[in-house]
Amino acid sequence: MRGVLRFGAAAAILALVACRDQTPVPSAKGPDSVEPQLPAVPKSTPEAGAPSEARAFVPERVQGEGMAMGTHLAFAAFTTEKVSAAKTREAFDAAIAEIRRVEALMTTWKPDSEISRINAAAGKSAVAVGDETFGIVKESVHASEISEGTFDITFHTLHGLWKFDEDLDPHPPAAKDVAARLPFVGYKNIKLDEAKKTVMLAKERTQIGLGGIAKGYAVDRAVKVLEQAGLTSFFVQAGGDLFARGKKADGTDWQAGIRDPRGPEGSYFAKLPLADHAFSTAGDYERSYVIGNKRYHHIIDPRTGQPATACRSVTIWAESALVADEIDDAVFILGPEKGMKLVESLDGVGAVIVDAKNNLWVSNRLKGKLQVVGVPSDGI
């Protein structure tokens, strides 16, 4: 991508959003809503005695699920005259296998993965990698360049200081420990050789991790698998990364709810149509804890080593899951004004932001598409 990334409430609030370009709309505490469940399409049954040739094909909704990349995978698709329910389930299995292949290639948990080999050679030597890994690292560097370094895979250098996962420890790291690692964080430490397909980390203590981009890429790969199987209407979800192809059997759009960042789990304040688009949300409500009146969360500004404070949630709508995945954290860290400027500069990308003051921001491309169904709740 050059200039554009590649890889390939109420009614009153919505009315205000539609009239003001990138202007925050004040929001207040409102009702919580339950994230919509995609309804199954009922099967029609021919009348008894009806000739078989009169039976029209009725698409069947098929669902599947799995686990990979440390998150829950969910699939839904409608059968076609050429792709049966059994074939659809086989396609889901193949998509899960593809996601797991990407995970094995790009994880830092396996010492023999290409990313682990790059990290092991930091400050010493360049590492030859496959085209796939090289392309993702190159894309990551470009995302860093256009986002003022707010998306930065060398953030992994800070790994272990903040504990928000299974090792949750509700105590921020000492400032001196963060300061000791910050000199080794920075995407400019990544040296790429296009001809040799090598990656080198210039400083010995610099480390990279693809947690902010690999899941989106894996979703895009799963989409390719389902398309190759002949499916034309489906939905893929890996945690907070989603993609929908086509429309549902009844002709309506697939839709995804945007979670209320201060509401109960499962509540949402808005929803977006997803026909042939991806959707990814970065929120400070996941993997977080509150001490006093301050929330600490997993979206760390790589420039400071501290949790970003300008937003509560950022949802990115884009033509690929990879783009949505890498841009949501960057916009979250940049804040609503700079973040929206970045979004509007990218072809085919839209954003919905709930900022730190609980104001709602909607990018130009999503005005008229976003359906606000409740005011985001307020809170710490």
Q: Which of 155, 125, 120, 160 is nearest to 140 (CA)?
A: 155
Q: Is 186 one of the annotated binding-site residues?
A: no
Distance set, CA 308 to CA 181, 213, 283, 296 (Å): 18, 18, 11, 9
Residue 328: both structure tokens together: 């949501």
Q: Is 325 one of the annotated binding-site residues?
A: yes
| Cα first-last separation, the chain | 37
- The whole-angstrom separation of Cα 110 and Cα 219 is 21
Q: Which long-range contacts (CB under 8 A, 24 or more apart) does 128-135 make?
A: 128/196, 128/197, 128/198, 129/197, 129/198, 129/199, 130/105, 130/197, 131/197, 132/105, 133/105, 133/106, 133/199, 134/192, 134/197, 134/199, 135/7
Distance set, CA 91 to CA 83, 100, 229 (Å): 10, 14, 6
Which segments are annotated as binding site? 212, 325
Which segments are annotated as binding site for Mg(2+)? 212, 325
